[in-house]
Chains A and B, each alone.
Chain A
Amino acid sequence: MKKIIAVHSYKGGTGKTLTSTNLAAIYAMNKHKVALFDMDFRAPSLHAILNVRNAKYWLNDYLNGVCDIKNVIVNHSDKVGSNLYLGLANPSTEAIREMSAKDRKWEMKALGRLLSLRNTLLNDLEFDYLIMDTSPGLQYSSINAIVSADTVIVVTTMDISDIEGTKRMVHELYDLFEKKTGIIVNKVPIEKISTLEEREKLRKQYEEMSNLPVIDVVPCFCDVLRLGGNTIFSLEKPEHPFTKILREIAAKIEKL
Chain B
Amino acid sequence: MKSREKTIRKNEIQLLEKIKESLDKLNEKMEIIIDLQKQEPRSNIPEQLPDALDVMTLLSLPDHLRKTAITICRLGRATADEVAEQTKRARAVESAYLNQLVLMGYLKKERVGRKAYFYVEKEEK
Contacts and interface: CB of A to CB of B under 8 A. Distances in A.
A256 interface: no
A111 B59 contact: no
Contact of B55 (A103, A105, A116, A147): A147
Instruction: Give chain A's interface residue range (CB within 8 Å of chain B).
Output: 10 to 19
B121 interface: yes
Contacts, number: 49
B123 interface: yes
Given A173-B59, A176-B59, A176-B63, A108 B52 contact: yes
A109 B52 CA distance: 9
Interface stretch (B11-19, B29-37, B69-77): B69-77
Given A112-B120, A112-B123, A176-B59, A147 B54 contact: no
A143 B123 CA distance: 21
Contact of A112 (B56, B57, B63, B73): B73
A104 interface: yes
A144 interface: yes
A104 B52 contact: yes
Contact of A107 (B54, B67, B121): B54
State the majority secondary structure of interface residues on B.
Answer: helix
A22 B120 CA distance: 37
Interface in B67-96: 67, 70, 73-74, 76
A111 B63 contact: no
A140 interface: yes
Interface string A1-40: 0000000000000000000000000000000000000000
B54 A112 contact: no
A108 B59 contact: no
B110 interface: no
User: Which 3 A-B residue pairs are closest in the complex by CB-CB distance?
Assistant: A104-B52, A108-B54, A143-B55
Interface of A: 65, 103-105, 107-109, 111-112, 115-116, 140, 143-144, 147, 173, 176-178
15 contacts: A103-B52, A105-B51, A105-B52, A107-B52, A108-B52, A109-B121, A112-B73, A112-B76, A112-B123, A115-B73, A140-B54, A143-B55, A143-B56, A147-B58, A177-B66
Interface of B: 51-59, 63, 66-67, 70, 73-74, 76, 120-121, 123
